[in-house]
Amino acid sequence: MMRAPCSFLVILLVTSTGYVVETQPTGHLLPLGSHQPAESPGVDVLHAAPSPEDFYREYVEASRPFVLKNHARDMPAFKYWTDQYLRSTYGHIKVDVEQGKKENRSNSLWVIPLSEFLDRYNDSDMYMVHSLPKEMMGDIWLIKSLLCGGFTSNIIDAVTWFSSGGTKSVIHFDALDNINCLFDGSKELILFPRSHSEKFNLKSRGSYSTADVDRIDLIKYPEFANVPWYNVTMQPGDCLYIPYRWAHSVRSWGRNLAINIWFVHMHKFDYEDCLVKGQLPEFAPLSSHGISAENEDQMRGEMIDFIKYNGGSIGQKDMQAAVKYFGATEKDLSVIFDFMDTNRDGKVVVREVEKINYESFKKLVEVLEASGDDDDEEDDDDDGGEEEPAENMNEITSKEPKSHLDTNKSEL
């Protein structure tokens, strides 16, 4: 689709010597997405879950999002998760609660009982962002697309998003693939293709922008001035697939309750797994599979992706690109490169990464986590507003990502 060059707003300023022409990009200091219309046609709209193989080939491997309409309506969570049910059944569970519906990553998380959150969320500037405990997993079903091919062994987290609406996330991307199912309320998402997301000036720790989504400063953040974007509106019962490393921002309305399933980005489809499992049901409870992937699996997937993204092999010449990709120091990445270059030929290929054992990857994760902690000390200006004082809640904690590759639990 052909795009015209970025348009500009022309302002005439009268001075003592005459007129001065000043230009501003279209959409400057307006909400995200005001710079140009959304792409048309938009993301695929499906009315049945694709088979695991089709999901992998046509969407995961091809990096294409889709909306699956009304597919979550049969899930127990959709049918039963009223405030009264949640209070009586799971009210004792302690959950993570984030201060501020407009996301600000300098804010803290609190841990409070779910029953207390239910007492307060309608009248408070807060929302719940909590990894699903085992006792609630039976209420969440995995769609057929995930039930074979290796997806179930690569699930790394399932997160509950719960608010009274009005939430706004930062622009960010996740180093994981994501299926989100909405049980109540509505969501609007702005999605940016990976090919453009990779060029955004994002914080290396958490992969997010400090731009204010309500008032995008296109002079300070020119990368958003002429970028194509997709618009998705989710209604209760819809599920959305957001591909790996697609940047996005999310807004919500009404009592808003959703679950997202994060899984490690896969580079192979396990056909034998599907042969063994045979004919698949439309759904399976998350409790029958659980959360089995680890940060080490995620890092292996990230390493393989980086190698493939750079032509099938990497060397010392690729260290600057690796620093931006992984958010680690060149020194630490050079050490990791030397470790992975098992045949000492000056380059690392996918086969070498696949052969590294789990314990070795665990040590690599520790190196990159430490490197990410150092990066946190260098903080950019944040356009998202001033940090609000903490409320008096129990067990104040800091938001700590699970690894340097973690999403930091930004909405969706």
For the chain (length 412 residues), average pLDDT per consecutive 10?
45 53 87 97 98 98 98 98 98 96 89 98 96 97 98 97 97 97 98 94 87 97 97 98 98 98 97 98 97 90 94 92 86 88 94 91 78 54 45 37 48 64
pLDDT at position 63: 97
How far apart (Å, rounded) are the C-alpha atoms in residues 38 and 190?
A: 9
pLDDT at position 390: 38
pLDDT at position 329: 85
pLDDT at position 407: 44
How far apart (Å, rounded) are the C-alpha atoms in residues 224 and 193?
A: 12
Tell whether pTM > 0.85. Answer: yes
Question: What separation in angstroms does the CA of 148 have from each of 86, 137, 145, 271, 276?
Answer: 31, 19, 8, 8, 9
- CB atoms under 10 Å from CB of 309, counted, come to 14
Task: At 266, list the tokens.
Answer: 């896969």
- CB atoms under 10 Å from CB of 10, counted, come to 9
pLDDT at position 389: 35
DSSP state of 109: E
DSSP state of 203: B
pLDDT at position 159: 98
Question: What separation in angstroms does the CA of 369 have from each of 158, 299, 374, 402?
Answer: 22, 11, 9, 9
Task: At 153, list the tokens.
Answer: 């062994």
Whether the upstream peptide bond of residue 41 has omega within 30° of 0, thus cis, is: yes
Residues making up the chain, counted from first to last: 412
pLDDT at position 401: 35
pLDDT at position 406: 47
Task: At 223, list the tokens.
Answer: 């990368």
Element at 248 (helix H, strand E): strand 247-263
